[in-house]
Amino acid sequence: MGVSRGAVGPAGRWAVVAAVVCAAAGAARAQDEAAARGLIVKLRPAATVAQAQRLPGPQADAERLQRVLDAAGVRAASTRALGSTMRHVDFGRVLPGADAAQLAQRLRQQPEVEWVEPNVREKRLQNMPVPNDPSFGNALQWWLQPPAGSDANVKALRLRGAPGVQQAWMQTMGSAAAVVAVLDTGITAHPDLDGHILPGYDFVADVDDANDGSGRDADPRDPGDWVSAADAASPAFSGCGVEDSSWHGTKIAGMVAALTNNARGVAGINWNGRVLPVRVAGKCGASVTDIVDGMRWAAGLAVVGVPANPHPARIVNISFGGDGSCNVYDEVVADLRAAGAVVVAAAGNAHAAPLRPAKCAGVVGVVALNRDGFKASYSNFGAELSASGLATVGGDYATVDSAAWDVALGDSGLYTLVNDGRTVPGAASYGAIAGTSFSAPLVAGVASLMLSANPALSADQLVAGLGASARPHVQASRIAACSDANPGRCICTTTTCGRGILDAVQAIAYARNPSGYQAPAWPTVMIGSSGEARADLDDALSVAARDRPANGTGGSDGGGGGGALGAGWLLGLALAVLSLARGPRRPAGR
């Protein structure tokens, strides 16, 4: 707040600054008790015409106020006009808060006094931190900006699904101690990230999959996970599609902890964050046993044959998943929870039921939302996420499915770090991505801010707090609810997309006071009823009544489907990156 510091200059210069933000409940009390440079008094209108006309206004008020002060037994050094209707009573000294309150109370008991306020200092309004990273400034990183916009706004200004990370930075910019383990393809060198990467480990046991010439080792660098035509034709990679390297781990690490406010590239969620790269995935995915060992090691638990992790993580992000039972994950997730670590997992990209481990007990399974707050076209969803799941933006690119709503309601994806190499690592770069893979690290990153605000939070409190602080899912009268028959862009509920929409500000409010936290009275957010949003929805509905056909009748946009993998691959498909862009080749976001 640009503040006149409560200064009492010439009448008229005194500025009442209305927009006092009381971030904490204690702020109002603190202000009541603040030292005062006198009192500001407003008298009631003069009781009689004679009284009012006897002297010019200010002089009459001065005399009346002096009588009031005398009657109240209050001795002031001087009084002077403040604006046209008030007077500043100066005591010639700074009054301790309690003294000011007592004097004010005595004056309030005088019948001619309308009100009395202490002349305290207003606080400078804290502005939202604006990191100087260019891609934050030019709105490519809309996913870090405050939730905002209404139906009246064009799509580029509607961010009703955003978690509000920038606002949360007013409370904490994060700490290095709140380590996030990224169980993924490993890590590539990137000048906008390197300083925030801890020594990790490579758990990919199979040499062919690992693609680095060895089984497990202490070097978690990502050598590339491309699958060539020759690979795909070989028995070892039966069922795997030909694809370029994904650099999946680097993208996620960048979202969590890219170097921020360094006048370069992008901002990360945790300005001081540390990512522990735990390489569990090679070509074509990650095997369950490597994931289990990687999860345990990430949380500081013992893994036979692997040195202890000197930087245990309280938050373990995994953006891989598959069909199948939770038997294995239930065991390892329980061990992690007992060790104080929370698993955050992507729900999957096949607009179908959530995958494991996202659907498993105690895991924060994450659904991807469109920037407007409804479910992203591709995101998996389901009742398995009701207990501890959550939803947040994941990028919602237009797809190639001509029956879908496409560009009318899609968005520009999430802008983060990438690498330009098609096979082996190439140049460090930036680009937009989409998928539940990238919704999960938003939750993991916000959880790291919660731990930064309160390192004493337990794993149970982290999970409970993320849910308790979530915003209600958006509503709409013209977009149908998510269901098996309507699995595309659809309206989420707590029975389909987790407990609500991730809210970074409220998550930190919870973190600071878990036992006393009360969620705000959230307003109902209706989508597409009027204005630009209605026009966009009309455009979308002109394509089809719904975004995409029910599962089984339309094509999958990849990922999560659980291809026919060979023995030993209980799980393994990386969630596909939709319309993966490789940095500069993709035009700037809308």
Which residues are at the interface with Ca ion (CB under 5 A)?
A: 133, 192, 202, 210, 212, 214, 217, 219, 259, 262, 264-265
Closest CA to 356 of 291, 296, 445: 291
**What's phi and psi for 519, nearest 5 deg?**
-65, 150
Closest CA to 578 of 139, 254, 154, 243: 243
**What's phi and psi for 279, nearest 5 deg?**
-80, 115
Length of the chain counted residue by residue = 590
Cα separation, 171 vs 450, whole angstroms? 10
Give residue 563's region: left, alpha or beta (phi > 0; psi -120 to 50). Answer: beta
Closest CA to 446 of 389, 504, 371: 504
Cα separation, 404 vs 398, whole angstroms? 8
Structure tokens at 362: 């105690």
Cα separation, 507 vs 505, whole angstroms? 5
- Is residue 151 annotated as a catalytic residue, yes or no? no
- Is residue 287 annotated as a catalytic residue, yes or no? no
> Which residue lies nearer to Ca ion by CB, 259 or 457?
259
The set of residues, in sequence order, having a beta carbon less than 8 Å from that of 523 and lying 6+ positions away, is none
Active-site residue, from 248, 377, 547, 579: 248
- Is residue 452 annotated as a catalytic residue, yes or no? no
Cα separation, 226 vs 572, whole angstroms? 14
Active-site residue, from 61, 133, 151, 184: 184
Q: Cβ 244 to Ca ion, closest distance in Å?
A: 20
Q: How many CB atoms lie within 10 A of CB 477?
A: 10
- Could you tell me which residues are beta bridge partners of residue 118? 39
Q: Cβ 179 to Ca ion, closest distance in Å?
A: 20
Q: Cβ 418 to Ca ion, closest distance in Å?
A: 14
Closest CA to 252 of 417, 421, 380: 417
Closest CA to 62 of 45, 95, 86: 86
Q: What are the DSSP calls for 205-256, one per residue?
A: --HHHH-SSSSSBS--B-----B-HHHHHSGGGTTPPPB----HHHHHHHHH
Q: Cβ 201 to Ca ion, closest distance in Å?
A: 9
> Which residue lies nearer to Ca ion by CB, 329 or 430?
430
Residue type, 455: P
- Could you tell me which residues are beta bridge partners of residue 551? 554
> Which residue lies nearer to Ca ion by CB, 117 or 206?
206
> Which residue lies nearer to Ca ion by CB, 278 or 476?
278
What DSSP state is assigned to residue 143?
G
| Residue whose beta carbon is closest to Ca ion | 202
- Could you tell me which residues are beta bridge partners of residue 491? 481
Q: Cβ 260 to Ca ion, closest distance in Å?
A: 5
> Which residue lies nearer to Ca ion by CB, 192 or 536?
192
Closest CA to 380 of 440, 325, 337: 440
- What residues are labeled active site? 184, 248, 437
